[in-house]
Structure 1
């Protein structure tokens, strides 16, 4: 049986729940609601397991806070015996327009502290990451306020459709593989 670790990045706590930086948590919560499963608190994060056509998806929302995400990722990769190529990390991306999605198999952390920590703990830049665009419509020097800010009205209206597309991407990654998924979803 194939096993996958799907990690949604975010920060724990009510004050972060609706922030742009928590899109990884939001995608996994949307998936769980759609498929009717629940997360439970375990070591270093909230976890859930879901079966999809003979494959096991292990979902993780790290409780280590964004900047220390690598600790939870490496712990659960090892514990669940998931190969690196079956890891998918979902994160926000300032360099993409709101709602656009991009799947990559490697690359830099792009200044994202969560990815920076994962990269350091895995000791490689080769791992799958699903970047969800949050745009960069903030004033100079206001980046932290922007990513930790809540979605505006227009974004909130468009979010459900984008979350739906995100769930489709995750299912495609698991069933069709990373290359087919990149061809089907990148830029959509």
Structure 2
């Protein structure tokens, strides 16, 4: 059996939050395939189905993000599952929006849901090397903006790449079940290739003046020819470049 956990916070007020992209992905999988209706168990909503001949259990913890490990730990113990039978889908700040990564193990990178699951898996199975499917949501650009950003809703224009992501993940779920992570990544990358996203970094104003871009010798010579201030013009005095600039911009006889 494969246990696919989507992370998020319960309640309609959180439904479109960036932090809830794990819930959104699992909901899309549930809608695409013939899973059972959602039922309450393990302090979570669960649904079961079969993908490519393998039994799959979807789980959405209802304990709020910071306690996600409670629900997942209970389900893992009940079904006597191993670490490699678990896939967790969640939001990743350090990936640009519409970018996806999957690997076994790794750090929590400040994600409280993953911290909770790590703690429960470490105590239950003696390790943290379960598979993690990280869905990029982008970063607001400053640490103090993160809380409001992840608990903020996706913009309507994000629907284009979100729909592509969820459709590609749902259509290629068999790769996840077969533990063919490279095959899944190839399919997702192909589906999401070239997507434009709305996430833009926030740049703090430090008061420093921007550094001017370097100009070519030809542009500087053109400015000089148009009586630009000599203090900003630094042209070569000799050599091939000096000879060429003299031919191009040298003053003609009247």
When the two structures are superposed, what TM-score results if normalisation uses the length of structure 1? 0.90
When the two structures are superposed, what TM-score results if normalisation uses the length of structure 2? 0.68
For residue 17 of structure 1, what is the aligned residue in structure 2? Answer: 15
Query: Structure 1 residue 167: deviation in Å?
Result: 2.1
Query: In structure 2, what is the Cα distance between the partners aligned to 1:14 and 1:183?
Result: 31
On the 8 A contact 1:64/1:72 being kept in 2, the answer is: yes
Query: Structure 1 residue 138: deviation in Å?
Result: 4.9
Q: Does 1:147 align with 2:146?
A: no
Q: Does 1:134 align with 2:137?
A: yes
On the 8 A contact 1:6/1:59 being kept in 2, the answer is: yes
For residue 109 of structure 1, what is the aligned residue in structure 2? Answer: 108
Q: Which has the higher contact order (CA 8 A, sep 6+)?
A: 1
Q: Does 1:184 align with 2:183?
A: no
Q: Which has the higher strand share?
A: 1
Q: Residue 90 of structure 2 aligns to a residue in which SS? A: strand
When the two chains are superposed, the root-mean-square deviation of aligned CA atoms in Å is: 1.8
Gaps spanning 5+ residues in structure 1: where? none
For residue 98 of structure 1, what is the aligned residue in structure 2? Answer: 97
Query: Structure 1 residue 139: deviation in Å?
Result: 4.6
Query: Structure 1 residue 76: deviation in Å?
Result: 0.2
Alignment of structure 1 residues 1-188 onto 2, 5 Å? 3-37=1-35, 38-123=37-122, 124-168=127-171, 170-175=173-178, 177-181=179-183, 184=186
Q: Residue 89 of structure 1 aligns to a residue in which SS? A: strand
Query: Structure 1 residue 185: deviation in Å?
Result: 5.2
Query: Structure 1 residue 57: deviation in Å?
Result: 0.3
Q: Alpha carbons of 1:184 and 1:19: their partners in 2 closer, same or farther (altered >3 Å)?
A: same
Query: Structure 1 residue 132: deviation in Å?
Result: 0.3
Query: In structure 2, what is the Cα distance between the partners aligned to 1:186 and 1:52?
Result: 18
Gaps spanning 5+ residues in structure 2: where? 191-254
Query: Structure 1 residue 183: deviation in Å?
Result: 5.5
